[in-house]
Chain A
Amino acid sequence: MNLVIVGISDCRLSNRPDDALVTYALGSCVAVAIHDPVARVGGLLHIMLPESAIGPEKARQSPFMFVDTGVPLLFRSAYELGAEKRRLTVWIAGGAQVMNDNGAFDIGRRNCLAVRKILWRAGVLIHGEETGGCASRTVRLEVGTGRFWLRGAGETERELAASKRGAEWPSRS
Chain B
Amino acid sequence: MPEGEQEKAIAEGAREVLETMFFAEVLGPAPAEAVLEDERWVRLEFQGNPPGRLSVGVSAPAARRMAADFLGVEDAEALSEAQVGEVLCELANMIGGSILSRLESETIFDLGRPEAAASAPEEAGAGVVCCRFDLGDGMLAVRLAMRGG
Contacts and interface: CB of A to CB of B under 8 A. Distances in A.
Q: Do chains A and B touch in the complex (CB under 8 A)?
A: yes
Interface string A119-132: 01101000000000
Contacts of A123: 72
Interface stretch (A31-39, A77-85, A108-116, A147-155): A108-116
Contacts of A87: none
B69 A121 contact: yes
A130 B25 CA distance: 19
User: 7 nearest interchain CB pairs?
Assistant: A117-B23, A120-B72, A113-B23, A121-B72, A116-B23, A113-B25, A117-B69
B24 interface: yes
Contacts of B19: 109, 113
B73 interface: yes
B74 interface: yes
A59 to B, nearest CB: 19
A121 B74 contact: yes
B72 to A, nearest CB: 5
B107 to A, nearest CB: 18
Contact of A110 (B25, B72, B73, B74): B25
